[in-house]
Amino acid sequence: MSTFTASIDLPVAPASVPLVRRLVREVLRTWDAPHDREDAELLATELVANVVDHAGDGSFTLELTLGGAWLRIGVVDGSAVRPVVRELDHESERGRGMRLVAAISDRWGAEDHRGGKRVWFELAPVAAGEPPPAG
């Protein structure tokens, strides 16, 4: 199986959130990735929303890799502050993004990267017998 990679630098701005959703959708469609594309779009959107909410000005990099069976999506920004999976607060309108990432992804993590950090998640392909990814 081939390995595919893509990365794009984007501004830390609210408009980047829906743009990332569309980019992930189109890249995975082009790659014919056998993963749940809606999950990938949602989780990438959550990572970018965290950057917009917490990383300040500047830019971030969206990274996508399809290698072997695994899909890995990461976001690199200039803030060294790692994300936190918060306790569920039914009163708060925000703060559920990393809970979604932890619950839906097969693996996720954060690592130091050039004075900032990379937050990533991985998805396994949809199992045999499950509906095919939306396309």
Sheet containing strand 116-123, edge to edge, reads 4-11, 59-67, 70-77, 116-123, 107-113
Is 133 part of a structural domain of the chain?
no
Q: What is the pLDDT of residue 75?
A: 97
Is 54 part of a structural domain of the chain?
yes
The pTM for the full model equals 0.87
Work out the average pLDDT over 2-10. Answer: 95
Q: Render the burial of 46-71: b for 16+ CB within 10 Å, e for the rest.
A: bbbbbbbeebeeeebbbbbbbeeeeb
Task: Grade residue 127 by pLDDT with cuts at 50, 70 and 90.
Answer: confident
User: What CATH number should be reported for the domain holding residue 11?
Assistant: 3.30.565.10
Q: What is the pLDDT of residue 44?
A: 98
Is 131 part of a structural domain of the chain?
no
Q: For 11-37, write each residue's pLDDT tens digit.
A: 999 999 999 999 999 999 999 999 999
Q: What is the pLDDT of residue 35?
A: 96
Q: For 67-105, write each residue's pLDDT tens digit.
A: 989 999 999 999 888 887 766 655 655 556 788 999 999
Is 78 part of a structural domain of the chain?
yes
Is 135 part of a structural domain of the chain?
no
Q: Which residue has the higher pLDDT, 89 or 39?
A: 39
Work out the average pLDDT over 110-130. Answer: 88
